[in-house]
Structure 1
Amino acid sequence: MAKPVFVLGIESSCDETAAAVLENGMLRSNVVASQEVHARWGGVVPELASRAHQEQIVPVVDAALREAGITRGELSAIAFTKGPGLIGALLVGTCFARSMAQALGIPLLGVDHMQAHILAHFIRDGSDRPVPAFPFLNLTVSGGHTLLVLVRDHLDMEVLGSTVDDAAGEAFDKGAKVLGLPYPGGPLIDRHAVGGDPRKFRLPMPQVPGSDFSFSGIKTAFNGVVQRGTANDPDFVTRELPHLCASLQGSIVDALLRKVQKTARNIGVEHIAMSGGVSANTALRAQFEALAEREGWQAHVPPLAYCTDNGAMIAMAGHFLLAADRTAGMDVVPHTR
């Protein structure tokens, strides 16, 4: 009987310390520790994130191993996020993974964070959800990145478009800050937009050629709407909050899906997929699936637990890297971009 292959995945690119264990590609544990310390500052503070990772990484990895029912000596390989992300945060995960792999004498697997978001579609956890068929177009949307990626195979991906300025998640969070909403503001925009009229406040639609995105114009125009409204009525934001949130959300979602539609038509795929933290937005998920239905495409969006940063997607990427014998040296260093 073949010995089971256990892959430990470690994620530390931003403000979540996460670890997960796969057994022969099947998820056995997935532990995430979020960092509440950033809320009071209105955004992620890199130095505080690094310190929190140092405090949390040992108990998080220990919890993942315990939940999977294995000891560290049974691990076959360790996967970790090598970038992109915050350099201090990445260093914590990289150094921990490198030291643990060296001590155990097992392979080390350096994972690209954005590729891991795409491979979240392939996490096997006992559910019967379908996975995208190759080739497919993936919209990767997060706080720091907005990408359109042609995925030909698990480890064969080509970026067709990216943002030329702000990412979609950044536009959500900065719009929330203008409204006086606490960090992280993206989920609050989603919540307050329910019942709002997305057409009440018109925001410009970015005109960027090809498959690239731009959100700085939407962000600037939204700031102007709020400033003018508040100058005339101090209670403007309170009174119009659902409509303001719906208008901002609607503009961002429209900008994203226009490029998905255009690019998917151009390359002729039958499957479209979406991943990353912003893919948890309810309006984006609903309209993404509606677009696919209109076009006759198959849509794929991971469960919410695999949209935000997590160890399972890192372990899943590590699973494919290990199968392809694409290991990292013990001198590997992280990269921010």
Structure 2
Amino acid sequence: MRQDKPGVLLVNLGTPDAPTTAAVKRYLKQFLSDPRVVDTPRWLWWPILNGVVLPFRSPRVAKLYASVWMEGGSPLMVYSQQQREALAARVDMPVELGMSYGNPSLQSAVDRLMAQGVTRMIVLPLYPQFSCSTVAAVWDGLYSAFKKARTLPDIEFIRDYAEHPAYIAALKASVERSFALHGQPDLLVLSYHGIPQRFAREGDDYPLRCADTTALLQQALGLRDDQIMMTFQSRFGREPWLQPYTDETMQGLAKKGVKHVQVMSPGFASDCLETLEEISEQNREFFLHGGGEKFEYIPALNADVEHIDMMIQLVNARR
């Protein structure tokens, strides 16, 4: 009789192997070649990517990575590995980490789980709010990983967890720690990674899921509408993305009387370049140069015990 053996596959976006131009170029080429990320026709996008984007963007991005690099790798890699280790220590099943782009690859993580005899794979993409450009890319990666396999495990795929009570509780605890340390700000800004507006028009419910998280966190914290707002960061290319944009918002807040702001990025399960450099450094400067007085970045949940507790609840509900 076939024995049931569950295992957990944690998946995050990925990271360069090193803060060098060559490593960043390899990573960006894989990332920006995925039609889930850039859906421009290949015949048009390929010359632009290889002739313009990669040669000019890679050296600049490598310098940014170097500014946040940690012992053990990029912040996203270090925190993702900590999450895997913390979860594995508290559940009696194999837990592996794979990345949609870069290393460790999604394929290698699947192979490690299958080598341990896993018959039911609980897939947890570390994206609280579904988007076709992130969670659906994990779905595509799973299909590719098993495309030539002679056997398949049962798959328990966690689409997202934007409204999960333990996720909201973990965010609330993180915000309250920041308020206790720095004082309650005039405004709490929740900055989510953006996507093209076109994706939402075509059916991606990502902005709705971000709004769900924002509303529940506001309720949990007991904040008024004028004490919290939602923005979108990290836009790429020329077409309109979800608005309001975080950087433009930061530049104009002081003119509206906001002197003290705290920013968190609830869509990022782990701190990474987009939070530690773009938010904590770039947007800090935008706010202060615009006339603001106090800016604090609230770290991602990373390997906080409340975050791991949430993962355990998600996993146990599907084991």
TM-score (norm 1): 0.35
